[in-house]
Amino acid sequence: MKLTIGKRPASLTTTVEVVERLKRTSTGTLGHLTDFGFAEGLHPLMRPSKAVGIAYTVRVPQLDSAAMQYALGDVRAGEALVIDTSGERRRALWGGIVAHAAKRAEVAAVVIDGPITDWEEVIEAGVPVWCRGTSSLTGRRLGLEGEVLVPIQVGGARVEPGDIVLADSDGVFIIPRLQASQRSSEMLERDAKEPGVRARLDAGEKLPDITGLSEMIGTTHV
């Protein structure tokens, strides 16, 4: 088998701290701050769902699932499997057995740019999954080629090994690892303002007055 195996990036001392901070925020908050990194078209297999993990990247050549099976023997606890299917949208490359393997490996999440199969078994395994729906057509362990721990794309978002995967009921964002600390601070700062806005709304103020829109367009709501 022609399998390309890259390397994990050197661990950053802030990575664990950043992951814990991101668990307190959401993709919606990040969506207010940037368009980059959003994996378009990927949805959680069930809601509510929430996961934050360090990206372990896999590229499979369409129906050949061998590289993904290799990854399940190498992935570490707390990492998120991010799988580039090379454009395969008909065949499911994730199912019950690999979901159980991911559970035993303590994988934080699975993000796959294609459908899955064995819906009930995947749900039972308990590892949250973001994908493109379900399919009864499956992949094959051909052992021809594949890549792990290399730069990939899912849903139009570039993913490098060691990036941070932030996924929840609304979607998936990939945060470049060198930007993750700053991004998490910006997100938590934004979230911290929301309770004050809610309190002012409960006190009777109007949203345009709170946000400054009324002043911007020269009107006042009473």
Q: What is the mean pLDDT of the chain?
A: 93
- In order of 10, 18, 38, 169, 205, the CA distances from 176 in angstroms are 14, 12, 12, 21, 39
Q: Structurally, how many domains does the chain consist of?
A: 1
Q: Which domain holds residue 141?
A: 2-177
Residue 222 CA: distances (Å) to CA of 53, 213, 215: 46, 14, 13
Q: How confident is the model at residue 13 (pLDDT cuts 50, 70, 90)?
A: low
Which ranges of 92-171 would DSSP assign to H, the alpha helix?
Answer: 96-104, 119-125
CATH number at residue 139: 3.50.30.40
Q: Is 216 within the bounds of a domain?
A: no
* The 3-state secondary structure of 22-87, one letter per residue: HCCCCHHHHHCCCCCCECCCCEECCCCCEEEEEEEEEECCCCECHHHHHHHHHCCCCEEEEEECCC
Q: Does the pLDDT value for residue 222 go beyond 70?
A: no
pLDDT number for residue 220: 62
Of 66, 87, 92, 79, which is closest to residue 155 (Cα–Cα)?
Answer: 87
DSSP 8-state code for residue 9: P
Q: The whole model's pTM is what?
A: 0.91
**Tokens in use for 213?**
């829109």
In a domain, 19, yes or no: yes
Is 187 part of a structural domain of the chain? Answer: no
- Give the tens place of pLDDT for each residue, 111-168: 999 999 999 999 999 999 999 999 999 888 777 789 999 999 999 999 999 999 999 9
Residues 6+ apart with CB under 8 A from 100: 121, 125
pLDDT digits (tens, 9 = 90+) for 169-200: 999 999 999 999 999 999 999 999 999 999 99
Asked if residue 213 belongs to a domain, the reply is no
Residue 163 in any domain: the answer is yes
